[in-house]
Amino acid sequence: MTQSIPTSTLTPPTITHVHSLKQPRSKPILSVLIPTYKDDPTDLLLALLAQTDERTSVEILIYDDGSADTDLSAKVSAVVKSAQSRVEFLIADKNAGRSAARNTLQKNAKADWVLFLDADMRPVSPHFLDDYTQLISSKAGDVIFGGFTVPEKAETPDQELHRALSEVSDCLTLAARQAAGPQFVASSNLCVRKDVLLTEGFDHEFKGWGWEDSEWAARVAKKFTLIHADIPALHLGLESTQTLLNRFQSSGPNYVRFTRKHPDIAKTLSLFKISQKLRSVPGQELLRPILKAAVKLNMLPTKLRLAALKMWRASWYAEAFTNENSA
């Protein structure tokens, strides 16, 4: 995945374009956009190419956000050049961050609809792209979120907690996502009309990890038709337990920003209610070493580790609320 680096401090990168031999002149229905940074997107690309040919009204664009890995670039370029459908590989000479990568992909997309996928994702269904193009053609909505799945088992024991968390927090049924509306929309496996993004872009005031996609979905749902679909993508990019702890510790300011912009949604969330209650508990931060130890203790049942992880997050978010009010 690409990094979140402020683009204002960087000069625009120079971009090299690599094309497949098949470049039909007709306008595609859908542009699949894959931003990547030091991740190998070839498995995802091959999986998508297995669902396309020169007659398919889908194009695929990959943006390497300054990985500076010549071997990886050569590997991806070889797959792109041999593709029998419309593919373009954009190689940036320096890293400019996730927002810049998205913007560049959108500018180069020829279709009126774009589908964002991360390089560590895989389509679950052999008719993944057809399902999206059929929904687009039906004009059922302006934004489509297809949903996530995760592997039945993590590659390493240290990733198992993230897998379990994703299973209960992100990999919801279609009915559960439909009932929640914008609350469970992510920025990957997200299909959007380009003019929606031009009208309502992502809020770049969110720094680092967390809540940017939730805020965008909540804002967009007020002006456009957002629909959930059963077109899942497999999420393989599971993180270590320490990465989860770090993310939850640092994302408090982003969560505060989300709740301030959408207080109506925030008040319905258990995370908001718990973090507000913790603000009134003197010395609640003293529990964090115990919570952290519980999260990292593999011998504990997963449910207990998840409960400790969620309380760890709520504790840091409570502090973020307090800091904002005292600023």
Q: What is the pLDDT of residues 124-164, one digit of tens each?
A: 999 999 999 999 999 999 999 999 999 999 999 999 999 99
pLDDT, tens only, 135-146: 999 999 999 999
For the chain, the average pLDDT equals: 92
The dihedral through the CA atoms of 227, 231, 237, 240 has a sign that is positive
Give the residues across from 91 on adjacent strands: 16, 64
Q: Please report which confidence band the pLDDT of residue 325 belongs to, taking 50, 70 and 90 as the band edges.
A: confident
Query: pLDDT tens digits, residue range 283-321?
Result: 999 999 999 999 999 999 999 999 999 999 999 999 999
- The average pLDDT across 21-45 equals 91
Q: Position 2: which residue type?
A: T
Using CA atoms, how far residue 153 sits from 118, 123, 150, 163, in Å, is 20, 18, 8, 8
Neighbours of 226 (CB within 10 A): 20
Q: What are phi and psi of 64, to 5 degrees?
A: -90, 115
Distance (Å, rounded) from C-alpha 194 to C-alpha 183?
Answer: 21
- Tell whether the model's pLDDT for residue 168 goes beyond 50: yes
Helix axis angle, 160-169 to 302-326, nearest 10°: 70
Q: What is the pLDDT of residue 324?
A: 84
Contact yes or no for 140/227 (Cβ under 8 A): yes
Q: Is 36 helix (H, G, I), strand (E, B) or coil?
A: strand
The span from the CA of 43 to the CA of 38, in Å, is: 14
Strand partners, 144: 191, 227
Q: Which top CATH class is 7-239? A: alpha beta
Which distant-in-sequence residues (6+ apart) come within 8 Å of 173 by Cβ? Answer: none
Question: Using alpha carbons only, how large is the chain's radius of gyration in Å?
Answer: 20
Q: Is this prediction's pTM over 0.85?
A: yes
- Residue in this structure with the two tokens 């309502």, named with its chain if needed: 200
Task: Give me the pLDDT at residue 1, please.
Answer: 45
Task: Look at 287 and 1; give whichever has higher pLDDT.
Answer: 287
Beta bridge partners of 60: 32, 87
- For the chain, give every domain's residue range: 7-239, 240-327
What average pLDDT does this structure show over 55-77?
93
Q: Residue 43 is inside which H or E element, if any? A: helix 42-49
Of the candidates 183, 152, 154, the residue with the CA atom closest to the CA atom of residue 243: 154
Distance of CA 5 to the CA centre of its chain: 16
pLDDT attached to residue 202:
85
The pLDDT score that the predictor gives to residue 205 is: 84
- Contact criterion met (CB below 8 Å) for 214 and 185: yes
